[in-house]
Structure 1
Amino acid sequence: MKLVRRLILFISLTVIILSLTGNTDLPKLPLVKEQAKNFFTGLAGENKQILVVKIDDTNAAHPQIGLESADVVYVEQVEGGLTRLAAIYTSKLPPLIGPIRSARISDIELLAQFGRVGFAYSGAQSKMRPVIAAANLENLSAERNPPSIYGKDPDRPGPVDMILKPDLLLERANANPKIRIETATASVFPFGDAPKGETNTAVAKVKWPSAKYELRWDSTNEKWLIYFNEKPNMAANGDHLYADTAIIQIVSIMPSIYGDKFGEITPFSKTTGSGKAVMLRDGFSYQISWQRNLETDVTTWMSQDGGVANFKPGRTWIFLTDKAPVLTP
């Protein structure tokens, strides 16, 4: 009891002395520094240079290499109703990525919203090269880099044998003072609590003329497991590829002036304008809408009530299609 009285007396005397001397500064507590977040994932981490890699998505290309490290994956329709991927890396680079394939006209409009990205691909037809040269991106294709960076996997048949070493690619690019690859300075997706209007969904099916994707909700791990052409979509390292947020973005797909060497017309997926979409997150689906007025605008995502349709932080897959998905509770 005496100890408590002495402590109270000491505190009282200290307050009186401070008031008489005019020294009222109290000890300052150290500020807690806010943890940096990656703008493509919404998770804690760095924002490194934006590298976009074109990856083959035919049956022969599976299992793909390094796709498990992508922050965002776009699925695009190409010739013959097949699909091809544009994988975006900003938080970490895997040692290898592939199989690498060529650029398509849809990439130019799609990628303009992310600033001056590094664009890695195998090549492009001569008619498209002036378009790529005029675009706000850095051409890091195999046409401009040596086989030590874009190598060949002897265990894979052509044309699905080209494999990229992304660290060497960026090292070489950054050594060139004429090349400028940007990093994200603001969030490209809205991250936060889920919007209203959810519907219980266990499976979502997305279809193109010659390719099928399926997303199945894994309630144990709280992920959307990805299936390709009715088989588990496995990466070469053995990981089952998944999405924390999946977007089925309904776009206009129309013939372009380009084509492949087999005479197939290259489709163009228009990602400016506005349209409908379905968001998958947390075991639910949401009917949402998207809008992007200019190529340089980041796509905005809106819920049915006009609010922001927030993504779940983590990996995002976006499927560009002109057909609504089939949803199963």
Structure 2
Amino acid sequence: MRRGTRRGRCAALLTAAVAVSLGAAGCTAGPGAQDDGRASTAPVPERSHSAAPASGPVLAVKVDNVRAARPQTGLEDADVVYAEPVEAGLSRLMAIYATELPESVGPVRSARESDLELLGQFDRPVLAFSGAQSKLLPIIDKAPLRAEPASEDSDAYVRAGDRQAPHNLYLRPDELLGKPSGAAALTTGFTYGKAPAGGRAESSHTVRYPSASFAFTWSDSRDRWLVSMDGSPARTADGGRLAPATVVVQHVRVRESDFRDFRGSNSPYVESVGSGEAEVLRDGRVYDATWKRGAAEDGTTFTTGDGKPLNFAEGQVWVVFAGRS
């Protein structure tokens, strides 16, 4: 499923800034959040990864992830959810849609510089975001993607009356893409299929940022990992549980960027190009892996200790970027 490289088209847009390492995020295994059984019998749709050609680009949506933004809308329909560190040790999500388009996604928040490097793996993706720092906007405009920031004259965005700004902006995906583009648009480099031999049984796994955390607890009844964020079960808008089939904890370099938020906090830059260690959680087991991404135009491969592809389980994938220790 890897796509050919386009190194000459956007390398200049993905330049490095100040090379200062941030504190690493910690990963621990432990009891985690318990399966409370709520919506535990709900069917989980399988996502097909057939070779049918893509009918268009993926949709990438920047999603708020502070407590005031929860429960989010539409995350359960994403093919891939990326979790990344942002200012003040908090987290933000990027949801990728190719096989399904929900009626609504949100709350939608602002873009970051490292989003451009991450999105380079897709063929001119549509990026939905609330806005960005004024110095970053020209860089986004020149990136190999279709930028769709929120604006007053856009029918794609609405404000919810039952939430306070800035946690009340929602996207109507069908206003940007008429229909899902298909699994072939997911040029992530991921492979799906039978689990490799080995691994170790693990009932829960936790990733910690300085001011945020993600916990994934295995549910035998759903054959999925139940998500908790900042110590609380992560729910859908209708009260169910967010429950991916595969969770990847990808250890990356996190450094300072050239940008700061309005409080003066530096915006972390997640380097998703390179190589390093990862843990892949599927089927109630954890597998040690090596990840590699040669350039921003490439997908990311995950391999076992003997160099063979490490297949993911069919279904939604969460990738949590954790700073290297």
Normalised to the residue count of structure 1, the TM-score between the two structures is 0.79
Distance 1:40 1:100, change over 3 A: farther
* TM-superposition CA deviations, 1:51-96 (whole Å, max 9, x none): 0000000011000011111110000100011100100011111111
Counterpart residue number, 2:106: 98
Give secondary structure in 2 for the equivalent of 1:248: strand
The one-letter amino acid paired with 1:64 is Q
Q: Which has the higher contact order (CA 8 A, sep 6+)?
A: 2
How far apart, CA to CA, are the structure 2 residues paired with 1:42 and 1:228? 32
Is 1:81–2:89 an aligned residue pair? yes
8 A contact 2:192–2:312 mirrored in 1 = yes
Counterpart residue number, 1:227: 228
Residue pairs, 1:1-329, within 5 angstroms: 49-143=57-151, 146-171=153-178, 184=185, 188-322=189-323
Question: Which consecutive unaligned segments of at least 5 residues does structure 2 have?
Answer: 1-45
Counterpart residue number, 2:12: none
How far apart, CA to CA, are the structure 2 residues paired with 1:186 and 1:100? 24
How far apart, CA to CA, are the structure 1 residues paired with 2:299 and 2:219? 30
8 A contact 1:95–1:167 mirrored in 2 = yes
How far apart, CA to CA, are the structure 2 residues paired with 1:230 and 1:56? 17
Distance 1:187 1:272, change over 3 A: closer
8 A contact 1:45–1:91 mirrored in 2 = no
Counterpart residue number, 1:34: none
Counterpart residue number, 2:29: none
The alpha carbon displacement at 1:196 in A equals 2.6
Q: In the comparison of the two structures, how many residue pairs are matched? A: 279
How far apart, CA to CA, are the structure 2 residues paired with 1:272 and 1:76? 14
Counterpart residue number, 1:25: none
The one-letter amino acid paired with 1:167 is D
8 A contact 1:42–1:314 mirrored in 2 = no
How far apart, CA to CA, are the structure 2 residues paired with 1:190 and 1:298? 11
The alpha carbon displacement at 1:48 in A equals 5.5
How far apart, CA to CA, are the structure 1 residues paired with 2:210 and 2:243? 23
How far apart, CA to CA, are the structure 1 residues paired with 2:258 and 2:294? 23
Give secondary structure in 1 for the equivalent of 2:121: helix
Distance 1:285 1:42, change over 3 A: farther
Normalised to the residue count of structure 2, the TM-score between the two structures is 0.80
* TM-superposition CA deviations, 1:114-153 (whole Å, max 9, x none): 221000000011111121122110011114x635321100
* TM-superposition CA deviations, 1:271-304 (whole Å, max 9, x none): 0010000000000000001001111011111111
The alpha carbon displacement at 1:204 in A equals 0.2
Over the residues paired in the alignment, what is the CA RMSD in angstroms?
A: 2.6
Give secondary structure in 2 for the equivalent of 1:246: strand
The alpha carbon displacement at 1:45 in A equals 11
The one-letter amino acid paired with 1:285 is V
* TM-superposition CA deviations, 1:189-246 (whole Å, max 9, x none): 1111112331001000000011011000001111001011111100112220011010
* TM-superposition CA deviations, 1:100-122 (whole Å, max 9, x none): 00000110001101221000000
8 A contact 2:202–2:284 mirrored in 1 = yes
8 A contact 1:196–1:303 mirrored in 2 = no
How far apart, CA to CA, are the structure 1 residues paired with 2:131 and 2:48? 26
Counterpart residue number, 1:9: none
Distance 1:123 1:160, change over 3 A: same
8 A contact 1:106–1:268 mirrored in 2 = yes
- Bigger Rg, which one: 1
How far apart, CA to CA, are the structure 2 residues paired with 1:268 and 1:42? 33
Specify which structure has the higher proportion of helix. 1
How far apart, CA to CA, are the structure 1 residues paired with 2:138 and 2:53? 36
